[in-house]
Amino acid sequence: MMWSRINAGLLAVGLAVGLAASGSAQTGQESTGGEVWVSPTRPIAGGRAPGVKVELLGVNGQQKTYAVIFSSGDEVLSGLIDFAREYKVTSAHFTAIGALSGAELGWYNPERKMYRLNSIASQVEVASMMGDIALYKGNPLIHTHMVVSLPDGTTRAGHVLSAHVSPTLEVMVTVEPNAMRRRFHDELGFTLIDPGAQE
C-alpha cells in the first residue's frame, strides 16, 4: 500500500489556494452572521486517505501519468497531498470523476481575502474536478475546483475545501518534469503560480 512509509500520526501540511481540511477546530476558520469563512492558508492534514491506490499508467519522455484511486471514507485533499509528497511531484495537473458522501466548497471574497464555506451534506456525483499541483517553499500545494451533481440533477461548484469519497474517486494525474512554483501575494491573500520563479 502506498501509505506504508507514512506515519498516520504525522501531518503533511500544505498551504493551498482555497484548500483546507474540514473541522472547525482547525486554524484559519471563523464564523460571522451565520456564515463560515476559511482562510486560503489553512493547513491540510495528511494521512486521512488510507484507501488510496496508485498505478503508473504511462511514461511519455519525462512526463508520467498516474491513476490515483480513492476509496470510501478517504478525504481527497489529504490523499492528494500525500500522493504528491510520496511521489515527489513538483508540477502536475489532474482531472477526476466519482462520487462523494459530502463536501465543503468555497467561494472567494476578495475584500475579506477568505473563502465562504458552502457545505454539502449528502451523496453527490462528481461531474467535474480539475486542478494542479505546484510548489510553495519546497512543499506541494493543491489547487482544485469541482462541480457536483445533487440528487435532482442540479449542481454546486467551487474551490474544494474538503471532500469525502463514497464509493470512489478516480483521479488521473499528469506529472511534468519541470517544477512549477507559487508566490504569495499580499494583496490577494493567497499564492499564485509564478512562471519562471525560482526557490
Please tell me the CATH code under which domain 10-183 is placed: 3.30.1330.80
| β-pair type (92-109, 124-136) | antiparallel
DSSP E strand stretches across 61-193 = 63-71, 92-109, 114-120, 124-136, 139-149, 155-175, 182-185, 190-193
The residue type at 19:
L
pLDDT per position as a tens digit, 17-47: 333 333 343 458 888 888 999 999 888 889 9
Is 70 exceeded by the pLDDT of residue 9? Answer: no
pLDDT per position as a tens digit, 130-186: 999 999 999 999 999 999 999 999 999 999 999 999 999 999 999 999 999 999 988
Say what the pLDDT of residue 27 is. 55
pLDDT per position as a tens digit, 87-141: 999 999 999 999 999 999 999 999 999 999 999 999 999 999 999 999 999 999 9
> Do the Cβ atoms of 39 and 28 come closer than 8 Å?
yes
